Amino acid sequence: MQIIPIPIEKEITVDDDLSELILDSGNVIDGDILVIAQKIISKQEGRVVELSSVSPSLLAEGISSQYNKDPNIIELVLSESKRIVRMKNGIIIVETHGGFICANAGIDESNVVNGFATLLPLNSDISAQIIRTNIFKKTGKNV
């Protein structure tokens, strides 16, 4: 097995065709397994939130003061969660609406403009299938 990163040099936006960017950035071979960072999918799907637009609830305010976290981030975690699994040492483990068990509902502030955060894609299986189908339509390659 060989792992080959495919660099994409541009900032991903909602208008981007991820399959085209992948094909333009590297040589995709029939049968390749593509691993795409969640953040790229989230940005392309518009799952980016400006933190100043979030109105924290009383529950988010309480949790944020207890864990010394941004109440806006906590509100996003709560809104993206079906249930809280565990809270300990400043980490909130939740079950997302999509059924994932993860820290902070996958909310991520890294590699985005300051004051913004990304949310998990609504349905990562559908997101992957769209990219796979588009690559097949453009190249005839099954990835």
pLDDT at 1: 81
pLDDT of the residue at 3? 84
Phi and psi of 74, rounded to 5°? -60, -40
Looking at residue 22, its pLDDT comes to: 92
The per-residue pLDDT for 74 is: 97
User: What is the reported pLDDT for 132?
Assistant: 95
The answer to whether the beta carbons of residues 56 and 71 sit under 8 Å apart is yes
* pLDDT value of position 89: 85
Question: CB–CB of 48/115 below 8 Å?
Answer: no
- CA 120, CA 25: separation in Å to the nearest integer? 24
Residues of the chain with pLDDT under 50: none
Model pTM? 0.87
Residues 19 and 32 sit within 8 Å (Cβ to Cβ): no
φ, ψ at 15 (rounded to 5°): -80, -10
Residue type, 134: N
pLDDT at residue 107, rounded to an integer = 96
Find the length of the chain: 143
